Structures are given as structure tokens and as C-alpha cells.
Amino acid sequence: MAVNMHACPLIKLVFFIIMSCSFHNIWSTPTNHRIKMSSSSDHHIVVGCGSACLDYLAAVASYPKPDDKIRSTSFKVQGGGNAGNALTCAARLGLNPRLITKVANDSQGNGILDELHADGVDTSYIVVSEEGNSPFTYIIVDNETRTRTCIHTPGDPPMVPEDLTESNLLSAMSEARLVYFDGRLHETAFVIGEEAKRRGIPIIVDAERKREGLNSLLDLSSYVVCSKSFPQAFTEAPSIASALVSMLLKLPNIKFAIVTLGEEGCIMLERSSTEDLRSKEIEVDELLEKLKQEKDNNATAPTCISSSAFMLRAKGIGTIGGRLLVGTAEKIPSSELVDTTGAGDAFIGAVLYAICTNMRLEKLLPFAAQVAAVGCRALGARSGLPYHDDLRLASFLR
Ligand SMILES: Nc1ncnc2c1ncn2[C@@H]1O[C@H](COP(=O)(O)OP(=O)(O)O)[C@@H](O)[C@H]1O
Ligand SMILES: *[C@@H]1O[C@H](CO)[C@@H](O)[C@H](O)[C@H]1NC(C)=O
Ligand SMILES: *[C@@H]1O[C@H](CO)[C@@H](O)[C@H](O)[C@H]1NC(C)=O
Ligand SMILES: *[C@@H]1O[C@H](CO)[C@@H](O)[C@H](O)[C@H]1NC(C)=O
């Protein structure tokens, strides 16, 4: 330890906190553990269904042309897949996630299971096929254009609902607080979704793009996190804000919809009950512009601007009682921005945590943006994902 600890009381204090946290984790007795479980984690079981695969990442100085032979500047072989990543993030933040997916009994499959397990994700409901191949993805991270190009090979044979036995389904759902779908394995997800509905467990869906079976999952859902293009692809509305209004009209069970916009941050529309409403009716695109103008563009840390509840009107679409929130992303210095692979998954992992701990929405958006931004500082979807005691999250978690 090169730091002179006696010279700086602050460093000493921080060091003491870090050391006591890690000693607590290593040496906590079973009794301590049980107290910890019943005070928090018992209520924080999340069941996720979707993709878990292996990522072969290569960072390159500039993207190759066909037939080029180039070298990587760095590489990593690491677990990936939307559900695998989001649940890894959730586990590191302190939830108890259970993943339902399928891998094959090959070296990739074993690696996927070992890595998830080591991160605290319950892998006991994952189906392991004797034959076939586990899903894997080649990812080229280009330092010049700041893009990440993915070539995905799905797992084979694909998961079918019959792969999940009735007893495993019931046991997986036991005491679950929240169910999460990444939109893959939609037939299995639908069976899980119906069981969640019977039990009154809320569902959150990652709507990345239009996929077979996604609409029936959205019908069952309470929350949705969308890619930039999804709301308009789903509704054919002329703007993101009007598309969010249209989504909430089409999907009456949705409590809030978030759309993430990369370094531009995110927008959320929360449905309001009629008794909370200001009587005034207001155009949703105008309200969004007004909120954007209030944004503090000098802040480097993620922020959130929220409106009161109004009757929000989208021209030619309709009106809905709701509140609009605009979240900013962290301004990451370009020297620290390594790889945005999995930023959306990290964001959702943090949203899972925020819902389970009843975090206020004004705090949820900057928290999720902060978790995602921490994850962008390392190669791969998971290497940089923060843990609950990370000092960069301290202002949100204490
Ligand atoms: N370049 C970036 N700088 C800062 N934050 C980012 C950056 N890219 C993504 N994020 C954060 O991650 C969130 C999700 O990113 P996004 O790119 O929209 O998702 P996806 O990974 O699914 O494409 C954003 O809302 C933002 O908070
Ligand atoms: C990435 O690009 C930046 C300039 O944008 C450069 O300074 C840095 O050396 C590059 N890193 C690698 C690994 O190519
Ligand atoms: C996986 O394959 C190994 C041999 O490579 C075998 O010993 C093991 O029983 C197989 N497991 C399953 C679940 O098929
Ligand atoms: C942002 O910074 C500019 C100058 O750097 C300053 O004029 C402006 O008032 C600042 N805005 C806020 C909201 O702090």
C-alpha cells in the first residue's frame, strides 16, 4: 500500500470503510447472514428469463474492411446475453436473481453457468441440453467510431416451454418480487408471465426491437424499458414522446415506460391516477421540450428533471394522465469511455434493484444511468459492473 495513511484522515476513513465492508462479507457468520437475508434480500428475489451466452470481445483501433487481417488491441471472453448481464448487475447490487434460460453441455455452457454462479445468480433453473451448442456472440469494439458490432449465434436446440418443468416453474416463482424478460425465449417467458400474473408479481420487459411474441409479454407487463427506436416502431407515432403516450394507451397495465438514448440519457412516462392530475391539458412534445430546457447541461453526474402530473395530449393519438421525467447520462471523459456493450442491460439491472427497493423515480433514473456509466469504463458487458458498496454509488444507496 503506497498511500501514507497517517497523512490523510479522509483516505484513512475511506480505507477503513472499504476494509470493514470486505471483512464483513468474508467473515460474516451464518447468523449474520440470516439477519441480512431477512431484512433485505428475502424480498428481493427476481426471476429473469431470456438470453445468456458467451461473448468473444475484440477491441480494434479501427474497424476492418472485408478480407483485412488486423490485430486486436485487447480482448476478453466473458458471459453475455441481455438477461445474463442484467441479472449479473442486479446480483452485484444485492438482489437475489434466478435466471431461466438454456445452454448446452459444452465448454461455453459450463463457462456461462460458472460465471453466473460466481456472481451470485441462481443457475439452478437453467436447462442444460446434452446436445447442440450454447449461444455465443463475436463482438468487435471499434475505438475509432465508438461502435460495437455483434455477430450472434443462437443456442441450439432452442428453449421450448416443455424444457421448464412445472415444479421448477413453481419453485422459481416462489417468493419472487419481480419478473424480468429480455424478449428472447418468448414462449417460455409467456408461461412464466402467466404464472406471475396469477400470483400478482409485476413484470418488466426490455423492448429492444419488435420480436415475435413480444406483444403478448408487453400485455402482461407493469414496466417497460425501450431502446431509442422501439416506441415509434411499436406505435408508428411521429415522436418519442407521443409514442410513449400511445404505448400507455395500448398497454393499460403499464405503470411506466422508459426509453434509453445512450449518451443522451433517457425519457420516462409514468401513468398517473386521475385524482393526482392538474386539470390542465398539455401537449406532450411541448412538455418534453420544456423539461429538456431545464436540464443542467453543465453537470457531469446523471440528473433528472420531472414534471407534475397532467393530462398529456399527443396529437392524433389521444390523451393520458401522466408525468414525464427526463434523465441525463453521465458525461464520461473520452479517455475513460472503453465500451458501451451492455449499457442497456446494466441500466435495467439497476432498474430491477430500484423497483425492489421502492426507490423514487426521480432517483431511479440517475441511479440507473450511474450504474450503466460505471459499466462503460471496462471492456465487455460485465467487467465494469459495480457492486453495492462501490463508492460511485454511495450517494444513491445511503
Ligand atoms: N456513451 C455513454 N456515456 C454515458 N452513458 C451512457 C453511454 N452509453 C450508454 N449510457 C447509459 O446507458 C443507458 C443505456 O444505454 P443505451 O445505449 O441506450 O442502451 P443499449 O445498450 O441497450 O443500446 C443510457 O440511458 C445511459 O444512461
Ligand atoms: C483510442 O482512440 C483514442 C483517440 O480517440 C486514442 O487516444 C487511444 O490511444 C485509442 N486507443 C486504442 C487502444 O487504440
Ligand atoms: C456433460 O458431458 C460430460 C462429458 O463431456 C458428461 O460427463 C456429463 O454427464 C454431461 N452432462 C449432462 C447434463 O449431459
Ligand atoms: C453552465 O456553464 C455556463 C458557463 O460555463 C454558465 O454560463 C451557465 O450559467 C451554467 N449553467 C448552469 C445551469 O449552471
Fold held by 39-62+74-396: UDP-N-acetylmuramoyl-L-alanine:D-glutamate ligase (3.40.1190)
> What pLDDT digit, counting tens, does each position of 152-199 carry?
999 999 999 999 999 999 999 999 999 999 999 999 999 999 999 999
Ligand 2 in contact with 215 (CB < 6 A)?
A: no
Ligand 1 in contact with 263 (CB < 6 A)?
A: yes
Rounded Cα gap, residues 100 and 120, in angstroms: 14
Burial of residue 226 (number of CB atoms within 10 Å: 0-12, 13-18, 19+)? buried
Atom 4 of ligand 1: nearest residue by CA position? 263
Ligand 1 centroid to Cα of residue 263, in Å, is: 5
- DSSP assignments along 88-105, one per residue: HHHHHHT-EEEEE-EEES
Rounded Cα gap, residues 63 and 104, in angstroms: 32
pLDDT at 380 over 70: yes
Q: In this structure, are residues 259 and 266 in contact, taking their beta carbons and an 8 Å threshold? A: yes
Ligand that comes closest to the CA of residue 63: 2
Pick the atom of ligand 4 nearest to 296's CA: 13
- DSSP assignments along 186-235, one per residue: HHHHHHHHHHHHHHT--EEEEE-S--TTHHHHHHH-SEEEE-SSHHHHHH
The pLDDT of residue 43 is: 60
| 301 CB neighbour count, 10 Å cutoff | 15
Ligand 1 in contact with 373 (CB < 6 A)?
A: yes
Ligand 1 in contact with 204 (CB < 6 A)?
A: no
Rounded Cα gap, residues 211 and 192, in angstroms: 18
Ligand 1 centroid to Cα of residue 165, in Å, is: 36
Q: Vertex 347, ends 238 and 284: CA angle to 5°?
A: 25
Least confident of 20-29, 122-131, 370-379, 384-393: 20-29
Atom 10 of ligand 4: nearest residue by CA position? 298
Q: In this structure, are residues 396 and 363 in contact, taking their beta carbons and an 8 Å threshold? A: yes
The pLDDT of residue 13 is: 40
> What pLDDT digit, counting tens, does each position of 302-348 carry?
999 999 999 999 999 999 999 999 999 999 999 999 999 999 999 99
SS3 156: strand
> What pLDDT digit, counting tens, does each position of 262-304 carry?
999 999 999 998 777 777 899 999 999 999 999 888 899 999 9
In this prediction, residue 6 has a pLDDT band, given cuts at 50, 70 and 90, of very low
Q: Where are the domains of the chain?
A: 39-62+74-396
Q: In this structure, are residues 372 and 77 in contact, taking their beta carbons and an 8 Å threshold? A: no
Q: In this structure, are residues 52 and 81 in contact, taking their beta carbons and an 8 Å threshold? A: yes
Rounded Cα gap, residues 287 and 324, in angstroms: 8
**Which residue among 263, 325, 336 is best mutated to probe the pocket of ligand 1, counting the most ligand atoms within 8 A of its Cβ?**
263
pLDDT at 25 over 50: no
pLDDT at 207 over 90: yes
**Which residue among 292, 295, 296, 298 is best mutated to probe the pocket of ligand 4, counting the most ligand atoms within 8 A of its Cβ?**
298
The pLDDT of residue 24 is: 35
Query: In this structure, are strands 318-327 and 266-271 parallel, antiparallel, or unpaired?
Result: antiparallel
The pLDDT of residue 42 is: 52
SS3 389: coil
Pick the atom of ligand 1 nearest to 330's CA: 4
Rounded Cα gap, residues 171 and 349, in angstroms: 22
pLDDT at 7 over 70: no
